[in-house]
Structure 1
Amino acid sequence: MAIMTEFLNLIVPVSVIEEKYPGGWERCLQDHKVAIGARVWFDDFLFRDGAMNPTAMLQLLNEWWKLGFECYAEKDGKKYWKDVCVYEGSLEGTPMPCDWLAEDPESRSVYLKGTAMGEIKGRDWDLIDDWEALPFPENGR
């Protein structure tokens, strides 16, 4: 399976979440419940959260550091993504190497290296339709 990317994407392997997230995978899903389908989506191998600007992405990274994830490490004077990866959909790639992430630029999706790309999971567009029906001033209501 693969996951759709857009803007700035924080990607975390599900196996690392199971190991390091306080309460494991189930707690992670519970903690992100309100964002699933909107800015959070996942497949069998990868979890994705996202941001539209670098400040918001830095805030996400800091939250994962506080949870005990080693977001990046350094080897031979070079930084690389370790427990998480920031994939920049608009810039087509990662600012640092990420050896566990494979990408398909044509579909703008990523998947766990060593697995089949398969079906692409992503945003629940029905949620977007529901948001547009809400009485916000920008929706003209």
Structure 2
Amino acid sequence: MSAKTKIIVLHMKEVIYTGIFLLLAVILGIVLFFMFGPVQRQHSAGTSPDRYKPGIYTSSIELNSNTFDLEVSVDAEKIRNIRLVNLSESTSAMFPLMEPALESLSSQIYSSQSLENLKYPQDQKYTSLVLLNAIEDALKKAENN
């Protein structure tokens, strides 16, 4: 053995206290990081603001002197409901493809949340185009500028 050997005596109580204080310092550091660290906002630069003004918007459709409304309800991000209102029984009987065409279009719009690339049967082409124009008009009123 050399004469420069030193023996250090540690008391267990001091080791435990030191460990506890180190653990508390780490926890305090983590808490301070989350409190004052980088803030993530809901509408940061990478995300877009609300797409629509929430509400119910209508567009009128006139076919052979029969007028009825198409109603689109939206929330801030989604198209929630599309339906025909003020559709009399006589108009419904005169244009029997109106409701099936609307069901086909609305199911596609709900799933994609877009009016692009919609498919409709050939026998409902013109009815679907009339409804699609009315839906576009209602959504233009709902757009958040």
Interval containing the TM-score (normalised by the shorter chain): under 0.3
> Highest Rg: 1 or 2?
2
Bigger fraction of residues in strand: 1
Which structure has more relative contact order (CA 8 Å, sep 6+)? It is 1
TM-score by length of 2: 0.24
TM-score by length of 1: 0.25
